């Protein structure tokens, strides 16, 4: 009798095992051989299942797409001044999906640069540069420079009038540096100085030196990430976070599958954008065509270029502008050694958060301004007004936000409630997004107002100038009214504005 | 690993959503192979097919990964796929 029961149980188990899906068996097959579920890599906390924690990983995905599309393009590309353009045009016109490949390659490069910048700014705001992650920050900065190097070297390769003119401007700026520095950099970038040497040097840097450097840095970064793990959250105290959020989850399958989802969605977005806005190749570079073209770098260098276009930095002032621009990067590099406090919570780092927000806003304003004013010299007064206005606006907005959102913390009040409730998190997200939108609109409107007034003063009163001014003032008024309304909504919980209004107004009825 | 197996079983037992996504992926891959001539339209078709494939893959991966499915996210994936498929079906390219 006992034997029959045992046999039945055994049969049932066998049948159950047979019923296991093929996917399970496939996963098991790999797991038994690779040991993926044995925590080969440090597990990550549940709270890291959030896209903002993996912006760097998405930049790596963009790099991989760049590699794949780049290898395909390299099969046809000829790095010489006489054939660079024609070989690129050949890919556009004769190679299957060649135009699509070029478009995806370019747009993914843009996405990689944007993701790297977002990763940098997020890292700054959530204090990933602090002990013990200083080296991670430095490696990340080096990766950022390599990414910009990809952009700079890749831009020249099609040998279009736009790309060659912009590269000439960039190389020309290097000549303004002290001779010992400039001669080394010029030799590194353009070799003997001929067009043939320049395009070959750029090509070698783009497909050999920079990818190798990025891969080495990536391995180093991964090693440091494995050593230190994912950074603690900066919006919520870890102690007030529910256990479920702090639970450690294995890299395989949880985190790796999550990353695959993000990568797939990112890839899909890139493909759709490439399909909607296919690239067209600008005309070929010739000295005559270059003379008729306004040289302008690609968008990710526009903010630096816009600084260099300020009147005070023209001519002999150029080295000063270059030194000032370089100081921004130096400050970012040495940040872990300047900001040494162990506080990572955003609500306790008002000074650094405000400085970071001003930096990000100035980069955005300068880039858009540069896009709107190609080749135009910016008067010093206008630059001071726009850049100062933006900084002031952000500083005031930051002060108000800290007062409204994190009120009372400095006086030893209990910490703010943890953002665990989905509705509260959603409200925070919408509020932050609204503030960012309104601040962006306000900064743009201020810049546009100054631009319109300057235009009216210098060029006389025209209907176009007045329309532009009216539009700018309208945008500014929307930003101001929207900000006041948002602040009022935020304050409803505390009720201090409501009480003040009630005290002042007669007939207020609650 | 037995826990892993149970998890896969549990996820796959949620209905026939996963096989549907997999069938969809197979269909779009077949459609990609059917594309021939080089022009802007086929470029777009290729991009849309591949996007549908990637979104379906993300949905399958999500269904496999989570213990509790967020129906909103799943609905968003389905809407995304529909948005990508509609221009192909109606020839708006």
| A348-371 residue pLDDT tens | 899 999 999 999 999 999 999 999
pLDDT band at A282 (very low <50, low <70, confident <90, very high): very high
The band of A506, judged by pLDDT with boundaries at 50, 70 and 90, is: very low
Q: Percentage of chain A surpassing pLDDT 90?
A: 46
Smallest CA–CA distance, residue A143 to chain B, in Å, is 28
Contact list in B for residue A37 (CB cut-off 8 A) is 1, 4
**Type and span of the H or E element at B39:** none
A268 to B55: CB separation less than 8 angstroms, yes or no: yes
pLDDT confidence bin for A409, thresholds 50/70/90: low
Query: Residue A100: which of B1, B47, B80 has the nearest Cβ?
Result: B47
Q: What is the largest CA-CA distance in chain B?
A: 51
Interface test mutation site (partner B, options A19, A20, A23, A256, max chain B beta carbons within 10 A): A23
pLDDT digit string, tens, across residues A45-57? 999 999 999 999 9
Chain A contact for B17 (CB, 8 A cutoff): no
Residue A149 in contact with residue A209, Cβ under 8 Å?
A: no
Reported as a single tens digit per residue, the pLDDT across A34-82 is 766 666 678 899 999 999 999 999 999 999 999 999 999 999 999 999 9
Rounded average pLDDT over B21-36: 81
For helices A210-228 and A134-156, the axis angle rounded to 10 degrees is 160
Quick check: B43 contacting A, CB < 8 Å?
A: yes
Q: What share of chain A is helix, strand, coil (3-state, %, to 5)?
A: 75, 0, 25
**Coil, strand or helix at A284:** strand
Residue A108: the pLDDT is 97
Among A19, A65, A271, A276, the strongest candidate for a mutation testing the B interface, having the largest count of B CBs within 10 A, is A271
- Residues 72-111, chain A, touching B (beta carbon < 8 A): 94-100
Confidence (pLDDT) at A192: 80
Q: Which residue has the higher pLDDT, A417 or A174?
A: A174
**pLDDT at residue A16, as a whole number:** 56
pLDDT at A218: 97
With contacts defined as CB-CB under 8 Å, which chain A residues touch B40?
Answer: 99, 278
The pLDDT of residue A256 is above 80? yes
For A20, name the nearest residue in chain B, comparing CA atoms only. B9
Q: In this predicted model, which residue has the larger pLDDT, A3 or A451?
A: A451
Q: Are strands A44-45 and A248-249 parallel, antiparallel or unpaired?
A: antiparallel
Q: Evaluate if residue A332 carries a pLDDT over 70.
A: yes
Cα nearest neighbour of A32 on chain B: B1
A267 touches chain B (CB under 8 A): yes
- pLDDT tens per residue, range A138-196: 999 999 999 999 999 999 999 999 999 999 888 888 887 778 888 888 888 888 878 99
The distance of B90 to chain A (nearest Cα, Å) reads: 16
Pairwise CB contact (< 8 Å): B8 & A21: yes
Indicate if the pLDDT at residue B5 is higher than 70. Answer: no
Tokens of B8: 């896969």
Choice among A116-125, A234-243, A332-341 with the minimum mean pLDDT: A234-243
Q: Over the stretch A367-384, which tens digit does the pLDDT of each residue have?
A: 999 998 888 899 888 899
Phi and psi (nearest 5°) for A492? Answer: -60, -35
Question: What is the 3-class SS of A222-263, one letter each residue?
Answer: HHHHHHHCCCCCCCCCHHHCCHHHHCEECHHHHHHHHHHHHH
What is the pLDDT at residue A434? 81
**Neighboring chain B residues of A264 at a CB cutoff of 8 Å:** 54-55, 57-58, 61
Residue B2 distance to chain A (closest CA, Å): 9
Closest-CA distance of chain A to residue B11, Å: 11
* pLDDT (average), residues A281-304: 92
Residue A413: per-residue pLDDT: 47
Q: Which of A175-189, B3-17, B69-83 has the highest mean pLDDT?
A: B69-83
- Confirm or reject contact between B29 and chain A (CB < 8 A): no
A272 touches chain B (CB under 8 A): yes
Q: What is the pLDDT of residue B14?
A: 55
Sequence-distant (6+) residues with CB within 8 A of A295 are A165, A166, A168, A169, A375
**Cβ contact A24–B5 (<8 Å):** yes
The region of weakest confidence among A7-11, A91-95, A502-506, B27-31 is: A502-506
For residue A463, name the pLDDT band (cuts at 50, 70, 90).
confident
A264–B48: do the CB atoms touch at under 8 Å?
A: no
pLDDT at A508 over 60: no
Q: Report residue A249 as tokens.
A: 């989850």
In this prediction, residue B28 carries a pLDDT of 85
Asked whether the beta carbons of residue A23 and residue B4 sit closer than 8 angstroms, the reply is no
pLDDT value at A500 more than 90: no
Provide CB contacts within 8 A for A94, sequence distance 6+: B38
pTM over 0.80: no
Inter-chain residue contact B38 with A253, CB threshold 8 Å: no
Two structure tokens written together for B35 = 């594309």
CA distance A268 to A123: 26
Please state, in angstroms and rounded to a whole number, the distance separating the CA atoms of residues A420 and A241.
7
| Amino acid A454: pLDDT | 72
The answer to whether the beta carbons of residues A73 and A101 sit under 8 Å apart is yes
**Nearest CA distance, B31 vs chain A (angstrom):** 15
Is the CB of B85 inside 8 Å of chain A's CB atoms? Answer: no
Q: What is the ipTM of this complex?
A: 0.84
The upper half-sphere exposure of residue A449, i.e. CA atoms within 13 Å in the direction of its Cβ, equals 17
Q: Compute the C-alpha angle A100/A104/A109, nearest 5°.
A: 155
Nearest-neighbour CA in chain B from A261: distance (Å): 4
DSSP H or E stretch at residue A208 = none
Report d(CA A293, CA A165) in Å as an integer.
8
Instruction: Give the C-alpha separation, A466 to A321, whole Å.
Output: 33
| Chain B nearest C-alpha distance from A228 (Å) | 25
């Amino acid at each position: 009798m006992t034997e029959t029961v045992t046999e039945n149980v055994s049969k049932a188990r066998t049948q159950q095992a047979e019923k296991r899906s093929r996917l399970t068996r496939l996963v098991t097959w790999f797991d038994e051989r690779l040991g993926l579920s044995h925590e080969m890599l440090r597990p990550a906390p549940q709270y890291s299942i959030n896209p903002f924690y993996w912006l760097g990983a998405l930049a790596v995905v963009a790099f991989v797409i760049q590699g794949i599309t780049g290898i395909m393009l390299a099969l046809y590309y000829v790095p010489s001044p006489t054939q660079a353009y024609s070989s690129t045009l050949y890919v556009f016109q004769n190679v299957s999906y060649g135009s699509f490949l070029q478009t995806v390659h370019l747009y993914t490069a843009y996405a990689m640069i944007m993701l790297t910048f977002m990763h940098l700014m997020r890292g700054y705001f959530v204090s990933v540069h602090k002990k013990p992650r200083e080296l991670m920050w430095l490696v990340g900065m080096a990766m950022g420079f390599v990414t910009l190097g990809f952009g700079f070297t890749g831009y020249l390769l099609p040998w279009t009038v736009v790309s060659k003119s912009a590269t000439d401007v960039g190389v020309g700026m290097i000549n303004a540096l002290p001779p010992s520095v400039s001669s080394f950099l010029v030799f590194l970038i353009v070799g003997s100085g001929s067009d043939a040497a320049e395009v070959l040097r750029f090509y070698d840097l783009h497909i050999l030196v920079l990818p190798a450097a990025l891969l080495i840095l990536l391995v180093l970064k991964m090693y440091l990430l494995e050593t230190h793990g994912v950074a603690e959250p900066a919006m919520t105290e870890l102690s007030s976070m529910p256990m479920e959020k702090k639970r450690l989850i294995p890299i395989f399958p949880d985190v790796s599958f999550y990353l695959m989802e993000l990568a797939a969605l990112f890839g899909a977005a890139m493909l759709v954008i490439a399909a909607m806005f296919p690239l067209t190749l600008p005309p070929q570079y010739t000295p005559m065509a270059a003379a008729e073209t306004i040289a302008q770098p690609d968008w990710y260098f526009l903010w630096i270029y816009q600084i260099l276009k300020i009147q005070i930095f023209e001519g002999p002032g150029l080295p000063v502008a270059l030194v000032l621009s370089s100081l921004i990067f130096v400050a970012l590099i040495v940040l872990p050694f300047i900001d040494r406090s162990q506080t990572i919570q955003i609500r306790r780092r008002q000074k650094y958060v405000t400085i970071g927000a001003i930096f990000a806003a100035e980069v955005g304003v300068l880039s858009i301004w540069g896009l709107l004013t190609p080749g135009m010299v910016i008067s010093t007064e206008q630059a001071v007004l726009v850049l100062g206005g933006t900084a002031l606006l952000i500083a005031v907005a930051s002060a108000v936000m800290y007062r409204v959102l994190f009120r009372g913390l400095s006086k030893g009040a209990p910490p703010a409630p943890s953002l665990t409730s989905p509705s509260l998190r959603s409200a925070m997200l919408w509020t932050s997004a609204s503030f960012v939108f309104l601040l962006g609109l306000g900064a743009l409107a201020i810049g546009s107002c100054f631009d319109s007034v300057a235009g009216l003063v210098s060029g006389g009163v025209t209907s176009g100038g007045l329309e532009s001014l009216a539009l700018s003032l309208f945008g500014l008024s929307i930003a101001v009214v929207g900000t006041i309304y948002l602040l009022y909504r935020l304050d409803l919980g505390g009720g201090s504005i409501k009480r003040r209004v009630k005290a002042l107004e007669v007939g207020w009825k609650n | 690993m037995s826990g892993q197996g149970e998890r896969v079983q549990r996820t796959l037992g949620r209905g026939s959503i996963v096989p549907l996504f997999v069938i969809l992926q197979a269909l779009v891959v077949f459609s990609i192979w059917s594309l021939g001539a080089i022009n802007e339209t086929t470029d777009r078709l290729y991009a849309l097919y591949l996007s549908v494939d990637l979104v379906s893959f993300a949905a399958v991966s999500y269904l496999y990964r989570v213990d509790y499915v967020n129906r909103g996210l799943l609905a968003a994936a389905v809407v995304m796929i529909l948005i990508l498929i509609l221009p192909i079906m109606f020839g708006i390219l």
